[in-house]
């Protein structure tokens, strides 16, 4: 997190959220332990880092928090258990986000006074529960061509499942991610009219000028991005671009997904939010140059 006035849960904090006791090994030891765990995960899933980079000192998605209450899309990604997803849809995420709030309060107490930023694919499926727990939350929706999203999510699901399954059914993954994210798209459209004002951002805007998007988000909510924070963010972006992976293509046919059918299915979403459709190459879904 490059702005000192804001905070996001870091990967190592999600494993060791408590301060080290007197005489303990300290935060540096905890960070090293998490870095070692991430190394082992990359050995189990060698393609993971190119799809979803995780660093011990870097912000991470809230799925690590909600998973501790067993109410998280993480389990639906790692394992093929349709009954779990059915249960989660019925039960909701309220308990998970109540725990999430306590977890964040614990982190915030160690360095109070910052604005917290959260990101997770779980959030779009839990809008009402989040609003019940965080009534003053401010929302930013990021929109991208669903064909590109589904190719990316399907591939990530495959990579994450392989270490934990004897057999991975790629067509089942295609059906699952399509159904799940169609539901997510419908929820976003309903939220656009039912919820408090939401700032809508397009993925292509972030790729073109990420700092400008950050400045826009700050200004929209009445905050000023300090020159120091802007400089640090600019340096971070340049560093990420230097490390960026080559553009990735995902073969949708591998997951029995048809681009034309997906375009038709998600047409109401792409029209509602004026989503730019990304170019495909030979039936492949375009990826990105890193997160």
pLDDT single digits (tens) 58-108: 999 999 999 999 999 999 999 999 999 999 999 999 999 999 999 999 999
Question: Token pair 């046919």 is at which residue?
Answer: 253
Give the mean pLDDT of 215-229: 93
| Two tokens, residue 84 | 């779990």
The torsion region of residue 92 among left (phi > 0), alpha (psi -120 to 50) and beta comes to left
Beta carbons of 171 and 165 less than 8 angstroms apart: no
The secondary structure of the chain in percent helix, strand, coil, rounded to multiples of 5, reads 60, 10, 30
Give the mean pLDDT of 144-154: 96
- For 42-63, the pLDDT digits (tens) are 999 999 988 888 999 999 999 9
Asked if the model's pLDDT at residue 244 lies above 70, the reply is: no
pLDDT of residue 282: 56
Pairing label, strands 139-143, 249-251: unpaired
Higher pLDDT, 286 or 262: 262
pLDDT of residue 289: 42
Give the mean pLDDT of 115-132: 95
Mean pLDDT (the chain, rounded): 91
pLDDT of residue 111: 85
Domains of the chain by start residue, with CATH: 1-119 (no CATH), 138-291 (3.40.50.300)
pLDDT of residue 18: 84
Asked if the model's pLDDT at residue 119 lies above 80, the reply is: yes
Rounded CA-CA distance 14/30 in Å is 11
Give the mean pLDDT of 1-27: 84
Q: Which segment of 8-17, 240-249, 268-277 scores lowest on mean pLDDT?
A: 240-249
Rounded CA-CA distance 281/148 in Å is 11
Beta carbons of 51 and 155 less than 8 angstroms apart: yes
Asked if the model's pLDDT at residue 201 lies above 90, the reply is: yes
pLDDT of residue 291: 39
pLDDT of residue 290: 41
- For 251-260, the pLDDT digits (tens) are 999 999 999 9
Buried b (16+ CB within 10 A) or exposed e, 20-42: eeeeeeeeeebbeebeeebeeee
Q: How confident is the model at residue 186 (pLDDT cuts 50, 70, 90)?
A: very high
Q: Which segment of 1-10, 122-131, 150-159 scores lowest on mean pLDDT?
A: 1-10
């Amino acid at each position: 997190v490059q702005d000192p006035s804001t905070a996001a849960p870091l990967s190592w904090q999600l494993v060791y959220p408590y301060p080290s006791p007197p005489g303990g090994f300290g935060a540096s030891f905890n960070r090293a332990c998490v870095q070692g765990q991430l190394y082992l995960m990359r050995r189990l899933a060698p393609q993971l880092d190119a799809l979803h980079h995780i660093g011990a000192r870097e912000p991470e998605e809230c799925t690590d928090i909600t998973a501790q209450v067993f109410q998280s899309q993480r389990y639906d990604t790692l394992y093929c258990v349709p009954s779990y997803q059915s249960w989660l849809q019925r039960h909701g995420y309220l308990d998970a986000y109540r725990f999430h709030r306590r977890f964040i309060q614990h982190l915030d107490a160690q360095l109070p006074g910052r604005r917290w930023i959260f990101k997770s694919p779980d959030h779009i499926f839990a809008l009402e529960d989040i609003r019940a727990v965080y009534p003053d939350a401010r929302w930013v929706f990021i929109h991208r061509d669903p064909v590109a999203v589904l190719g990316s999510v399907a591939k990530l699901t495959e990579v994450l499942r392989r270490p934990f399954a004897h057999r991975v059914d790629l067509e089942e993954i295609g059906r699952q991610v399509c159904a799940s994210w169609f539901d997510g798209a419908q929820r976003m459209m309903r939220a656009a009219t039912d919820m408090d004002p939401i700032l809508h951002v397009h993925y292509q805007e972030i790729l073109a000028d990420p700092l400008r998007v950050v400045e826009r988000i700050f200004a929209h909510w009445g905050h000023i991005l300090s020159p120091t924070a802007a400089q640090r963010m600019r340096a971070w972006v340049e560093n990420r671009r230097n490390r960026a992976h080559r553009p990735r293509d995902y073969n949708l046919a591998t997951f029995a997904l048809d681009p034309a059918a997906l375009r038709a299915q998600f047409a109401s979403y792409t029209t509602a939010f004026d989503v730019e459709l990304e170019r495909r190459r030979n039936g492949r879904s375009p990826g990105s140059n890193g997160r």
